[in-house]
Amino acid sequence: MIVTQSQDACLNSHGCLVRVERKRLLAHTLKLRREWGDDSGVAKVLMDLSDTNRLMGLHEEGIRLAREALGIFERLGDTVGQAQCLQYLAWLLYDDEQLDAAGETASRAIDLIPEKGYQTLVCDCHRLFGHIYRSKGEREKAIYHYEVALEIASSSNSHGRPFWSHYALAELFLDEDTFDDAHAHVEQAKSHAVNDPYKLGRAMELQAEVWYKQGRLEEARSEALRAVDFYQKFGASRDVEDCRGLLQRIEEETNNPVVSG
């Protein structure tokens, strides 16, 4: 599973209700901003609304809102606002499986980002490029952009971003059964998640996937159980369910091992 831009946000068992309530509050705020004639405020709320819709899987609505916000920023001559909005739009297009449009939009965002002060924005765009090229099967380009994102995240001490870059690289190498590299990036991801039970759970689950593919079933089972425990502490019910699916696959393989040759 490729991780998207805001998946380090709270994903607890009430996440859907939280997003619905957030959308309601943002819609109310948007109405007020429009009444006040605050164009900049309207554009910023539209961006937040677009991202909330993305997290709810409402891509078409999110794209429409992001484009409306972009039009306002263009009219105001706000290049930073345009860059931020283009990045939101690019992630929406990616999640909607419009890969070429997502790449073109992210490129437009990078062209507008100031040279100083907005490195996290550049980092997120490169990680998105990594996802796009990975989805297209273009391995070398994906690795390049993930590594650029990781370099930026590490040098700028950007909260959360080194974890997701290492996580993405670990997934890519796991896809190719390049287990040593996958292990190395999982360990690096864990080192950036020591104070975050949700991220630790994600890294543990990915570690369990690596060991499962290697046939190290007992280690995979133990690590997956640890991941479930961390998810439960965090209240991430959807992730608990996914990890239990992995545990079921491990148990099936344990009880019915595949004989090679």
Q: What is the pLDDT of residue 19?
A: 82
Residue in the block written with tokens 């995979």: 220
Q: What is the pLDDT of residue 258?
A: 59
pLDDT along the chain (261 residues), means of 10: 44 60 95 97 97 94 98 98 98 98 98 91 96 97 97 81 95 96 97 89 96 97 95 84 96 78 44
Whole-number Å distance between alpha carbons of 91 and 108 = 13
Could you tell me the pTM of the whole model? 0.87
Q: What is the pLDDT of residue 97?
A: 97
Q: Where are the alpha helices (DSSP H) in the chain?
A: 15-36, 39-55, 59-76, 79-95, 99-112, 119-135, 139-155, 161-175, 179-191, 197-214, 217-234, 237-255
Task: Read off the pLDDT of residues 225-237 as tens digits, 9 standing for 90 and up.
Answer: 999 998 888 778 8
SS3 178: coil
The single-letter code of the amino acid at 177 is: D
Backbone dihedral region of 83: left (phi > 0), alpha (psi from -120 to 50 degrees) or beta?
Answer: alpha
The count of residues in the chain is 261
The CA distances from residue 184 to 51, 167, 188, 232, in Å, are 32, 10, 6, 26
Report, at the CATH architecture level, how domain 16-108 is classified: Alpha Horseshoe (1.25)
Distance of CA 5 to the CA centre of its chain: 4
Task: Read off the pLDDT of residues 97-149 as tens digits, 9 standing for 90 and up.
Answer: 999 999 999 999 999 999 888 999 999 999 999 999 999 999 999 999 999 99
Whole-number Å distance between alpha carbons of 162 and 14 = 27
Q: What is the pLDDT of residue 16?
A: 66
